[in-house]
A and B are shown apart, each in its own frame.
Chain A
Amino acid sequence: EVQLVESGGGLVQPARSLRLSCTASGFTFGDYAMHWVRQAPGKGLELVSSISWNSATIVYADAVKGRFTISRENAKSSLYLQMNNVRAEDTAFYYCAKGMGAPRTQLWLPFDYWGQGTLVTVSS
């Protein structure tokens, strides 16, 4: 059974940093693209960042470019999101999502499994 478990959320002050983690199980983590998707309370979904299976391709939403960094450790089946200089508008649930498709293929595929999310609240 595929499982994605996010952690690291919480209350953080504006301009500070936070690191989110996603631990995966039930599939060969190193073979698939991974993504972070966020959802502000009561709002829609927004793709924050994506990383290919081998970390060769990384993309960011314009809203977080230059502030957030996505990374992965395939040996630990783990995905990370380093969030620097956070802003009030970064307040959201952050979901880790697995890319669909055959192993070691392109990044631009649907998200077939999602974690339960971790809430990040940016406030002084």
Chain B
Amino acid sequence: SIELTQPPSVSVSPGQTASVTCSGHKLGGMYVSWYQQKTGQSPVLVIYQDKQRPSGIPERFSGSNSENTATLTISGTQPMDEADYYCQTWDSTSGVFGTGTRVTVL
């Protein structure tokens, strides 16, 4: 099944833009979801179908997906956005998560 690779960490200053990438073979042909997990908490869906936001998710979260890379973008990053972020897709019958990225707001 597909392997999804993410950078281990991303650092961003408050108010700046953070970009988290997720790479996989022909990922652009699949739908990608993104989950936020704060320390000690359960994951929360923040993006689905590449770029759709569930209700209650701030507009500063956006997503894109093309060719072999999906990207989660956090615009105007806030301290509360500090968390681990995981991409996820379905490869035929296998649900696959990315390796995870720790976003640190310095």
9 interchain residue pairs of minimum CB distance: A47-B95, A108-B90, A110-B33, A114-B42, A110-B48, A45-B97, A44-B100, A59-B93, A112-B45
Q: Give residues of chain B (37-79) contacting chain A, Cβ–Cβ below 8 Å.
A: 37, 42-45, 48-49, 54
Q: Is the CB of B95 within 8 A of A50?
A: yes
A109 to B32, CA, bound (A): 10
Q: Is the CB of B97 within 8 A of A114?
A: no
A44 to B87, CA, bound (A): 11
Mask for A11-49, Cβ within 8 A of B = 1, else 0?
000000000000000000000000101000000111100
Q: Is the CB of A44 within 8 A of B86?
A: yes
Residues of B contacting A37 in the complex (Cβ-Cβ under 8 angstroms): 43
Residues of B contacting A45 in the complex (Cβ-Cβ under 8 angstroms): 35, 37, 43, 86, 88, 97, 100
**Total A-B pairs, Cβ < 8 A:** 51
12 contacts between A and B (CB under 8 A): A37-B43, A44-B86, A45-B35, A45-B37, A45-B88, A47-B97, A59-B93, A109-B90, A110-B33, A111-B88, A114-B44, A115-B42
A-side interface residues, number (CB < 8 Å): 20
Q: Is the CB of B42 within 8 A of A112?
A: no
Contacts A108-B90, A110-B33, A112-B54 known; A46 to B97 CB distance under 8 Å? yes
B96 close to chain A: CB less than 8 A: yes
Q: Which secondary structure characterizes the binding site on chain A?
A: strand
Q: Is the CB of B43 within 8 A of A95?
A: yes
Contact of B48 among A59, A95, A100 (CB under 8 A): A100
Mask for A44-87, Cβ within 8 A of B = 1, else 0?
11110010000000010100000000000000000000000000
Q: Is the CB of B42 within 8 A of A100?
A: no
Residues of B contacting A111 in the complex (Cβ-Cβ under 8 angstroms): 33, 35, 43, 45, 88
Closest Cβ neighbor of B91 among chain A residues: A108
